[in-house]
Structure 1
Amino acid sequence: MTRTEDLHSLTGAYALHALPDDERTAFERHLTHCGTCEQETLELAAAAARLGLATTVTPGPELKTRVLRRITTVRQVPPGGGRVERARRVVPRGRGPVRWALAACVAAAVGLGGTTVWQYQRAQDAGERAARAEQRAGTLAGVLAAPAAASRTARRAGGATGTLIVSAREDRAVFLASGLAEPPQDKVYQLWFDDHGTMRPAGLMERDRTSQAVLLEGAVDGAAGVGITVEPAGGSEQPTSTPIALMNLPA
């Protein structure tokens, strides 16, 4: 199965570890560049984890005592598959296949529990990221839709354009980019507020998108303008290169 439309339908099976090796490998490759499937897979895994936790029963404290007592009195099959003696045989503590089998079962249960918790934590993280993204999108939309928002557009050689939109009411700014060239390898475009000569980090742009809307991080707070620099992947505390563009805030 290689068609993208088919891969989109495998999120549920992947979340439940129900795919054969070849389809699982193909789907994991697909996940690296499909944010929609990644989000859906994490949400489905979260649902499965919550169902698992909901049906989990915590054993009472007396279970351990009862199991340890029974371990020493269970009759064992003699080596070679001979007949089991009728008389009860006492197995010394710490010896015999039953204790080893019990240990293996406990280890397996702990492992499965750990997997459930891990999946639940991943899903919780995904939910928090989704909530932050939703909040960010709402703020961005609020800036763009603000009745008194002001804008300024600049054009660069090669056809790239940038539009800065500022909402005094929201005290936030949005940068709209179009036609940007991809930054050099291991580099990224970083936005800065120009606080009258002091550059304040305002967020990173996605390196693989030539057109995008970016909600600048932090309040406008009286900044004079916005600049763009080329920085190492992950961004910098202070600009490490000359700005490729500087725009004054719209009046």
Structure 2
Amino acid sequence: MSDDIHALSGAYAVDAIDDVERAHFERHLAGCPDCQAEVASLRAAASQLAVLTESAPPPSLRAKVLSEISKVRPLPPLTAPQTERGDDTLQPSAPDAEDSAAGASTTGVPIGGTDQRDAADELGERRRSRSARLGRGWRLVVAAATVAVLAIGGFTVWRQVNTDPTRVIADQVLAAPDATSTAKRFPDGSTATVWRSESLHRAVIVTSKMADAPNGKVYQLWLQDPTGHMASAGVMPPGPDQVVVLEGDASKAKGAGITVEPPGGSGQPTSDPIALFAFA
């Protein structure tokens, strides 16, 4: 068990301690606001891992990490108390100059009686202070290790927090093993491609250099069911290059389409489709 009970906060947060340490730490935790706050923050970070999906980091990430390494000044290693061979009990290190001074009088004559006890108390206090400093160092090491464990999925956490949720869905569809695509090239050279994953029940349209809808109109997306009925799948935002998740269950659809509609869209198509995408 750690000599510094505070150092167990990181391991406790990720359930990496045994039953004895857990019981000991929980008794301490009940009366330590600092540890309560630290455990709560680490558990909040760890809870994000349960909702993650795998996502490859961008190619630039490796180069950025390698370039930053040379700018980071490493901390010196911590020095732990030495142990005697074959003995698991920590042994005190050799007394330093302050400890030696505490064991002798100013005249060089050994101190006795009450003075000796006072000197022993002072020596013990200094050793406890030194142990506390070392314990705080180890606590930082444990906290850093805990952060490293959480950081295994940290990049994905960052992506999910800082990315539009619909874009996360789009990435999943585009990367799905069963994803299929069908594309349409327009006379002006622009393209629109619809990707569908039956296992994810979703479809995504990806446009490139697509012209804006006519003035006062919008592009509306549709999913066509096996009977031929067209169900609205949302309105496309303006812009030539878009990645849009179609609304609705695409797993049973036999195709998708784009029509030109009034602002806000229509309940049913009011114009002939400018593009139809048949699903395989």
Tell me the TM-score normalized by structure 1.
Answer: 0.45
